[in-house]
């Protein structure tokens, strides 16, 4: 963490004021982020299930780009960008014709990642099991993996491509998974990593002038008329916000904070975590009040908030549907 010498003190009629030596603090924060403990998330799913799209939607467009991962075994890749506090293990697409080979190697991988001799930060912390709803299948092979191989690890199911199927298909797959009665299942969520724009949100004419000549900008998620009146189109729902909440609950406390910092789906999760961080440091300085302690807590809080809000990547975009909600 930044040292207390980088916090410059001064006085005012209202009491002591503190000013950061910003350049030094930023440099120390960058170095500290590279050393931070990362939660380990394993993605499992068949070829074409959309695992890479989900990774990129949640953590950023470049995390799962070709060549970015490091092969760990024949079936697993590791993605751990030093600028983000997250480690993703991505399984090679499950091919049912090679089920015995995959199960054997996966059992070995899980055993290694849950070895009691490992530090807790090196354990596998949660599994995202991605189901391709477009194929309308959750086979016995999948069920066997969940019952026999993944039973001791928290698991979240992502029913991907939910916008392409009827609700009856979603309900049927959910029922199949629920019938497994997995004790460490933290949720089964319909999601769409690449949801389609809902054009029903665009009116027949401009709300301002009544013009029926409307131009839709799919990239900006706006529509405008020939009189240059421009309006936002509500972003399509991905369902990934529910996955963020469930995963946060499944993770150890230290890992949950890092996970919320790494994800880009939910601003609300960041706001709530930020409030918890601030509250925890306020409690500490209320118990013991002295200038040195205030400086230390302020520096620690600044680091945690800076990491949480991507302090060094201010141009990042978020996809939370509530990003216009000012209540927080």
User: What's the pTM value of the predicted model, to 2 decimals?
Assistant: 0.78
Rounded to 10 degrees, what is the CA torsion of 298, 302, 308, 314?
160
Model confidence at 95, in pLDDT bands (50, 70, 90)? low
Q: In what order do the strands lie in the sheet with 222-225?
A: 214-217, 222-225, 230-232
Model confidence at 33, in pLDDT bands (50, 70, 90)? low
In 10 A of CB 142, how many CB atoms? Answer: 22
Distance CA 71, CA 64 (A): 13
Higher per-residue pLDDT: 280 or 13: 280
3-state secondary structure 157-217: EEEECHHHCCHHHHHHHHHHHHCCCCCCEEEEEECCCCCCCCHHHCCCCCCCCCCCCEEEE
Residue 148 phi, psi (nearest 5) = -100, -25
CA distance readout (Å), 201 to 30, 115, 197, 210, 241: 42, 51, 9, 16, 21
Integer-rounded Cα radius of gyration of the chain: 23
Share of the chain above pLDDT 70, in %: 78
Residue 264 has pLDDT above 70, yes or no: yes
Mean pLDDT of the chain: 82
Contact 237, 228 (CB under 8 A): no
Q: Which residues pair with 88 in a beta bridge?
A: 41, 79
Distance CA 226, CA 213 (A): 6
Taking only the tens place, the pLDDT of each residue in 274-313 is: 999 999 988 888 777 778 888 888 888 888 888 888 775 5
Alpha carbon 276 to chain centroid, angstroms: 18
Distance CA 37, CA 87 (A): 10
By DSSP bridging, strand 40-45 and strand 70-71 are: unpaired
End-to-end CA distance of the chain: 28
Give me the pLDDT at residue 29, please.
Answer: 64
Give me the pLDDT at residue 237, please.
Answer: 80
């Amino acid at each position: 963490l930044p040292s207390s010498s980088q916090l410059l003190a001064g006085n005012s009629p209202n009491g002591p004021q503190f000013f950061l030596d910003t350049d030094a603090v930023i440099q120390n924060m960058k170095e500290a982020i590279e050393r931070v403990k990362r939660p380990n998330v394993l993605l499992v799913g068949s070829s074409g299930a959309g695992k890479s799209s989900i990774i990129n939607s949640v953590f950023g467009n470049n995390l799962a780009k070709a060549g970015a991962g490091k092969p760990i075994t024949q079936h697993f890749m590791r993605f751990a960008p030093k600028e983000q506090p997250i480690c993703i293990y991505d399984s090679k697409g499950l091919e049912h014709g090679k089920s015995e080979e995959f199960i054997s190697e996966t059992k070995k991988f899980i055993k290694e990642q849950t070895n009691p001799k490992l530090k807790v930060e090196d354990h596998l912390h949660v599994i995202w099991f991605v189901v391709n709803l477009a194929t309308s299948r959750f086979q016995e092979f999948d069920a066997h993996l969940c019952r026999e191989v993944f039973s001791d690890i928290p698991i979240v199911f992502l029913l991907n491509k939910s916008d392409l199927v009827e609700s009856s298909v979603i309900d049927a797959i959910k029922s199949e998974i629920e019938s497994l009665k997995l004790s460490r299942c933290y949720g089964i969520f319909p999601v769409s990593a690449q949801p389609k724009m809902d054009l029903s949100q665009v009116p027949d004419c401009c709300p301002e002038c009544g013009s029926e000549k409307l131009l839709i900008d799919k990239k900006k998620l706006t529509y405008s008329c020939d009189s240059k009146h421009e309006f936002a189109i509500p972003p399509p729902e991905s369902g990934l916000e529910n996955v963020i909440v469930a995963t946060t609950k499944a993770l150890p406390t230290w890992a949950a904070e890092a996970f919320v910092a790494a994800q880009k789906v939910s601003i609300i999760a960041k706001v709530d975590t930020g409030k918890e961080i601030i509250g925890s440091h306020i409690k500490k300085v209320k118990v013991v009040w002295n200038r040195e302690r205030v400086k230390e807590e302020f520096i620690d809080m600044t680091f945690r908030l800076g990491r949480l809000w991507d302090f060094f990547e201010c141009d990042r975009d978020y996809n939370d549907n509530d990003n216009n909600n000012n209540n927080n």
